[in-house]
Structure 1
Amino acid sequence: MGMLLAYELEKGTERELKSLAAALGHQVKMVSSSNYGEPLGYVAGITGFKKTNAKDTGEKIGSEMLIFCGLDSEAMDALLAALKERKLRIPLKAVVTPYNIQWSSRMLYEELKKEHESMTAMKNSPR
């Protein structure tokens, strides 16, 4: 069973995602802005990670975001296909990795935002 960390989803999207995740055997955790400064490992409930009480602005990130934890490639493929089929569009998505597990949600958001802007610019540029 995998965990989906969800950020600032619209109510309809949240309801739809929870239904979809349950059907595929995954949990959804809605992350509150009070935890945006904590390591992803802690937010995901991964053993060995503790609350750090890291300083954060406490402000919302301003965009829907979805972080995948503990899904193998088959589960990830099934989930992404189901999201597409249900037309659940959450533009900022990432996987918890050994590289980013210590990052805060806000750090990951800032990185994803840059990548998304870069990919969008490349997609929209003339060739």
Structure 2
Amino acid sequence: TVVLDVDVLLDEPGDHVLEVGTVPGHTIEIDGVVVAKDDRRSGVEVILDSSINNPAGVPATVHVDAPRRVRVRASLLVTRAQGYGNLVRAELRHRVPAPSVEQEIADAARAARAADLTVLVVGTNEEVESEGWDRTSL
């Protein structure tokens, strides 16, 4: 088991979303509270299906009134990936307080309806793009 402890300074008031993306075999705690636990062991399949490239996580909302530090602890079982070696994978994600996706889409739709011309650009980024990894939506 590999344990990663990180203090994250949240200095903007509002609801922050913290998430640790990792493969099976982990316990994730935020300020001592378990927010995700998976006792399964992962192996070479996380390499072959590319899930290691964009590992799933469980988002946790942390409300902040005044700047403070939040402790994030990830206890990770070592993935034994056969010829690919032994590894652990953890990706800390942080979304600052902001309007919801639904609110941003509604605001964009309202602005587009009011405009004489609208240019819409869509695409993917490194977080969702991975050769050999199928997805159900853009």
Q: TM-score range with shorter-chain normalisation? A: under 0.3
Larger radius of gyration: 2
- Higher normalized strand content (fraction of residues): 2
**The structure with more helix, counted as a fraction of residues:** 1
